Amino acid sequence: MIPVLLLFIPLVAGILGFFIKEQKAASNWAIVASVVTLLTAVIGIYAMPASMHQFEASWLPNIGASFSVALDGMSKMLVLLTAISMPLIFIATRNNNYTNPGVFYALMLLAQSGLIGVFISMDALLFYFFWELALIPVYFLSSIWGGEKRIAVTFKFFIYTFIGSLLMLVGILFVYLHTKDQSFAWSSFTNTDLLSGQETLPFILFFIAFAIKMPIFPLHTWQPDAYEQAPTATTMVLSGVMVKMGLFAVIRWVLPLFPVASSAFAMPIVILSVIGMIYASLIAIQQDDIKRLIAYSSIAHIGLMAAAIFAGDTLGLQGVQVQMFNHGINVIGLWILANAIESTLGTRKLSELGGLATKAPTMAILFVVLAFANIALPLTNAFIGEFLLFNGLFQYNIWIAAVAGVSIILGAIYTLQMVQKVLFGEVSVVTANATEINSYSKWVLIVIVIAVIALGVYPQPLIDLTKDSVNALLVIK
Amino acid sequence: MNAIIVSALLGVVMMFSGIFTTNKTIIKNIATVGVLVLLAANLMEMYNLFSFDINTHDLIVTQRYGLFFNCIAYGATFIYLVLSASDITEVGVNVAEYFALIFFVLCGVAIISSFNGLLMLFIGVEILSIPLYILTGADKRNLKSNEASLKYFLMGAFSTGVMLMGIALMYGATGNFGMVHNAGIRGVITASQQPPYLLVAGVLLLFASMSFKVSAAPFHFWTPDVYDGAPSVFTSFMSTIVKAAGMLAFIRVFENQYMVLGPTWHIIVDFAIVTTLLIGNITAVFQQSVKRMLAYSSIAQAGFMLFALYANNTEIAKEGMLLYAAAYSLATISIFAVLIKLQDYTLDGFNGLAKKEPVLAFAATVSLLSLSGIPLTAGFFAKYYVLAGAMQAGGALWLIIVAVLLAAVSVYYYFRVIQAMYFKAGDPETLPISGGFKAALIGVAALIVILGIWPSALLSWLYF
């Protein structure tokens, strides 16, 4: 029952939200709805018996599709991430004003519902449904409330993902026709009569869709533009949660379905991911716009996770799941900072900022901690995740691990450069009248920073949450 | 039989209603009720309650599948009349005749869904087409409408000639008007390894003329001009119900006929599908007029419907054809109903519609999402079923990949309309819009979504 609730609370709240006209009311409504979802998720995952974690209902019996959802080891982590992210995002951006606020928050909640649906569906057709449905609200959010070039950029993003998902649909059909019982269920999909040579084609069809979503070099070109142009609250959803759809889908649908093809194609994919990491890091160093910098840094981090998935090591897979969660909350923290800077100072350009440490000391402390987390220093949550990832990569191929390691250094360069240009140095014209960030953002950031340090010191809860999923995967392999 | 007789009678009734009253509202209401009567008569036959018992010597054989298609066509016509009947009455002076012609077209639909021989196919297609030539030219004082009508008539007549030629050749080869599953013809094919050239030539000519009727490439050239020139209300009718009926005829006549062509058959259909999809989708991208864009989009959608032809006889493709007909008709009727209310048919004419008329914009958006095949709308399952059918029939994967990539292209032009409505500023001029019209639009949008979540709601009627 729990997964159904997680799906329908934001969905219903979103639909009702369309009718709210007033800014504060809409914001409150979204916060209440997302907090209720969060409570349901936490209570559901930790306090309810496993029998409550599954739900299955008949949907289209004649073609073998059913409404089958489950909170299993693979999905718990990301459902939790989605549930935690939304209230943080809503509270942190509470001071932002939107035209038609009701519609804005309604679409955000619908996006949340779609995302949770992607993570919990255990039926390929249902998964495809949610995969598309998570996209539609984001398309409208970015196109209506985004920056100057929003229409063209969001459209590019949409078409890119849509092409990917259509190819995935062909892949789904292909596998479906090879299932033994003509069913879309995950269990039937993992147990097909595909010969190992036949795996290649559907593997490619599935993988392109997920590679676009992650994104893996060279399919990443939609991402920096989309992040830059989307309204910041949407960007947080995009980079905090939505890019994890691609990684998650590989773990859920690609590895178990096509084990042979996955290991056959592992090397090129790992190499592409590592190229992407280095490439994105090098570009990030050159960026003057904070949003673009975070976007490229995000590509680098996702690249590492993608590489570790295909390097195919138990610890590495666990690391990916832990890191997906950690990256999610860390990057949301960075976006909150970017949003705070932009909304108080009216610019995102590093060259126009400087000396904020003296003007806004609290923000400076929070900023520095998050920056450290972005470079995965020990004591921050990202350390343990990246450690596991590099460990997996190291055992896969020492040279690739070494090259990937360069991105850590590059990451330190661009992150510290950003810290330096924003917080230290001369006070510029723009920052002369800077004030402390608003209390909503501040408290959310404090929560995030506490989580960063707490999970950095004691990451065991996250690792426990992923254990059974990785074991399940190994059984299939 | 019921549908054929009742629709013909209703056509006559509509013709005479023009003599007794000139009140447009009354005529409109008679027509709307008439469609419901027609639907009821068809349902009665479907559920074996009552049907006219006429011996047609096997020229007409009604089957559940065809009757169910009638229901979809008449249901769509009912929705069409609810949304657009008042616009039909504005086209010209002879209001009653337009409705009469529409009923004659519906009579053609009924024949097409139940013919059992090439002769009845021919009669059905002609009954379907001739009223359309007139409806296209209904806006008598408009040069474009006249031109479209003449063009349609000349090319249509030519294609009719081709079809007759094909039928004549097939008759020559086999000695009767039956179709391939007819024992006599099957004997001709199996007796000689190579089917007689006359028969092959006849089947090819039939393929060409049917392609013309459903505007499949390379016989699509009339479509954009005719759809663009015809009064918009009639374009809506022509491009939905009539087109779906044409496609049904195409599929039914080639249900077994394809055997004549042997392995060449797949080459021909592959070619037709790819060119239709390519030409429809790529050309639609460059259109500035939404009406013309929809004309090309209807070519593109025909390309998808051809997959049902490709997958001949698989259960899922047959269901897919019905679903496609319903999904495509609903979406296109509703988007045309919105289009008619606008003064300016260019893309810019849609700018800012969401602010001014949110209900219209919302309904149009749902329709456009359905046309592009986004999940949660009927269009997704329609595409899914025909593609799954093609795949099940052992279709080449490259063909399906080409089709989905071109479906991604279609998103480009459909979404440009959504962008204009929601993201661009403007103040579009509209005709007066009644509350009932809005409610009906919302109803259609709801129907599209329901079919998008649960297509069995429609398809289970096929069996129960």
**B434: which residues sit within 8 A by CB, 6+ positions away?**
none
pLDDT, one tens digit per residue, over B126-140 is 999 999 999 999 988
Among A173, A200, A204, A212, the strongest candidate for a mutation testing the B interface, having the largest count of B CBs within 10 A, is: A173
- pLDDT bracket for residue B180 (50, 70, 90): low
Residues A390-407: tens digit of each pLDDT? 888 888 888 988 998 898
Contact B408 A162 (CB under 8 A): yes
| pLDDT (0 to 100) of residue B79 | 95
The pLDDT-based confidence of A476 (bands split at 50, 70, 90) is low
Cβ-contact A137, A10 below 8 angstroms: no
pLDDT on residue B100: 94
The whole-angstrom distance between residue A347's C-alpha and the CA centroid of its chain comes to 26
Tell me which chain A residues have a C-beta less than 8 angstroms from the C-beta of B404: 166-167, 169-170
Closest by CA position to B349, among listed B289, B437, B423: B289
Mean pLDDT of A220-232: 86
Q: Confidence band (pLDDT; 50, 70, 90) for A274?
A: very high
Cβ separation of B397 and A163 shorter than 8 Å?
A: no
Number of separate helices (H) and strands (E) present in chain A: 23, 2
Residue B366 resides in a domain: yes
pLDDT at A361 over 90: no
Q: Does A18 touch chain B (CB under 8 A)?
A: no
Inter-chain residue contact A128 with B375, CB threshold 8 Å: yes
Kindly determine whether residue A140 and residue B422, on different chains, have CB atoms separated by under 8 Å.
Answer: yes
- State pLDDT tens for residues A432-456: 777 778 888 888 889 999 999 998 8
Binary contact (B387, A163; C-beta < 8 A): no
Residues of A with CB below 8 A from B424's CB? 151
pLDDT tops 70 at residue A359 = yes
What local confidence, expressed as pLDDT, does residue A219 receive? Answer: 86
- Please indicate whether, in this complex, the C-beta atoms of B388 and A173 are within 8 angstroms of each other: yes
State the Cα–Cα distance between residues B17 and B31, nearest whole angstrom: 10
Range A226-240 average pLDDT: 88
Lowest mean pLDDT among A99-113, B92-106, B193-207: B193-207
**Residue B291 DSSP one-character state:** H
Q: In this complex, do B415 and A158 lie within 8 Å of one another by their Cβ atoms?
A: yes
User: Could you tell me if residue B176 is inside a domain?
Assistant: no
Contact A339, A418 (CB under 8 A): no
Determine, for residues B388 and A167 on separate chains, whether the beta-carbon distance falls below 8 Å: no
Would strands A54-60 and A65-70 be described as parallel, antiparallel, or unpaired?
antiparallel
pLDDT at A37: 92
Residue of B318, B384, B399, B414 to mutate, interface with A, max A Cβ within 10 Å: B384
Mean pLDDT for A175-181 is 87
Average pLDDT of span A284-309: 89
Among B311, B306, B341, residue whose Cα is nearest residue B440: B341
> What is the mean pLDDT of the segment spanning A30-56?
88
**Residue A284 class from Cβ within 10 Å (0-12 exposed, 13-18 middle, 19+ buried)?**
buried
**Reported ipTM:** 0.89
Residues in chain B within 8 Å Cβ distance of A162: 408, 411
Give the model's confidence band at A83: pLDDT under 50 very low, under 70 low, under 90 confident, else very high.
very high
Beta-carbon contacts of A270 under 8 Å, excluding residues fewer than 6 positions away, are A307, A310, A311, A393, A396, A397, A400
Choose the closest CB to A143 out of B376, B392, B419. Answer: B419
Number of domains in chain B: 1
Amino acid at B4: I
State residue A168's pLDDT score: 93
Q: pLDDT > 90: what percent of chain A?
A: 26
Beta carbon pairs, A and B, within 8 Å: 66
Is residue B104 in a domain? no
pLDDT surpassing 90 at residue A38: yes
Instruction: Give the pLDDT band of residue B22 (cuts 50, 70, 90).
Output: confident
**Torsion over CA of A339, A342, A345 and A346, rounded to 10 degrees?**
-150
Chain B: residues touching A (Cβ < 8 Å): 316, 369, 374-376, 384, 387-388, 391-392, 397, 400-401, 404-405, 407-408, 411-412, 415, 419, 422-424, 454-456, 459
CA distance B419 to chain A (A): 8
- Mean pLDDT estimate for chain A: 87
Residues of B in contact with A155 (CB under 8 A): 412, 415, 419
Contact between A414 and A297 under an 8 Å Cβ cutoff? The reply is: yes
CB contact under 8 A, A166 and B408: yes
Asked whether residue B28 is assigned to any structural domain, the reply reads no
* pLDDT for the residue numbered B262: 75
Q: Name which of A159, A173, A177 is nearest B408 (Cβ-Cβ).
A: A159
Structure tokens at B154: 């000349």
Cross-chain residue pair B400–A140, CB shorter than 8 Å: no
Q: Decide if pLDDT at B191 tops 60.
A: no
Confidence band, pLDDT 50/70/90 cuts, at residue B397: confident
Cβ neighbours for B263, distance < 8 A, ≥ 6 positions apart: none
Q: Which long-range contacts (CB under 8 A, 24 or more apart) does B53-56 make?
A: B53/B1, B54/B1, B56/B1
CA angle A156, A133, A465 (to 5 degrees): 110
Task: Supply A156's token pair.
Answer: 């590019």
Any B CB within 8 A of A169 CB = yes
Q: How far is B232 from chain A (nearest CA, A)?
A: 29
Residue A377 in contact with partner chain B when CB distance is under 8 A: no
What are B365's two structure tokens?
Answer: 């958006």
Burial class (CB in 10 A: 0-12, 13-18, 19+), A350: middle
Predicted local distance difference test score (pLDDT) of residue A269: 92
The range of the structural domain enclosing residue B433 comes to 263-464
Contact yes or no for A30/A104 (Cβ under 8 A): no
Q: What are the angstrom distances between the C-alpha of B174 and each of A396, B122, B197?
A: 70, 17, 11
Paired strand residues for B452: none
Mean pLDDT of the region A103-127? 92
B418 located within any domain: yes
Residue B384: list chain A partners with CB under 8 A.
Answer: 169, 173
How far, in Å, are A130, A133, A172, A177 from residue A124 at the CA level? 10, 14, 7, 12
What pLDDT shows up at residue A147?
Answer: 81
B186 pLDDT higher than 80: no
Contacts of A133 in chain B (CB under 8 A): 375-376
Domain ranges, ordered by start, for chain A? 1-165+220-243, 265-477
Inter-chain residue contact A133 with B423, CB threshold 8 Å? no
B142 lies in some domain: no
Residue range B286-340, pLDDT digits in tens: 999 999 999 999 999 999 999 988 887 778 888 889 999 999 999 999 999 999 9
Q: Which residues in chain A are contacts of B405 at CB distance < 8 A?
A: 163, 166
Helix (H) or strand (E) holding A60: strand A54-60
| B239 assigned to some structural domain | no
Cβ-contact A244, A81 below 8 angstroms:
yes
| Distance (Å, whole) CA B304 – CA B193 | 33
Q: What's the confidence (pLDDT) of residue B190?
A: 63
DSSP letter assigned to residue A197: G
**Predicted confidence band at B81 (pLDDT cuts at 50, 70, 90)?**
very high
**Residue among A59, A163, A174 whose CB faces B408 most closely:** A163
Cross-chain residue pair A150–B415, CB shorter than 8 Å: no
CA B282 – CA B241 distance, rounded (Å): 24
DSSP state of A436: P
**Tens digit of each residue's pLDDT (9 = 90 or more) over B343-392:** 888 888 899 888 888 999 999 999 999 999 998 899 999 999 999 888 88
Mean pLDDT, rounded, of chain B: 89
Residues of A in contact with B391 (CB under 8 A): 173-174, 177
pLDDT band at B50 (very low <50, low <70, confident <90, very high): confident
- Residues 6 or more apart whose Cβ sits within 8 Å of residue A128: A165, A168, A169, A172, B375
Q: What is the pLDDT of residue B188?
A: 60
CB contacts of B407 in chain A (<8 Å) are: 166
Determine what percent of chain B is predicted with pLDDT higher than 70.
97
Distance between A126 CA and the closest CA of chain B, angstroms: 10
Calpha distance A254→A262 (Å, rounded)? 7
Contacts of B436 (CB under 8 A, 6+ apart): none
Test A169 with B384 for CB contact under 8 angstroms. Answer: yes
DSSP state of A437: P
A62 touches chain B (CB under 8 A): yes
Which token pair is B458?
Answer: 């429609």
Among chain B residues, CA nearest to A134:
B375
Cβ neighbours around A450 below 10 Å, total: 11
B102 closest CA partner among B220, B15, B225: B15
pLDDT of A474 reads: 59
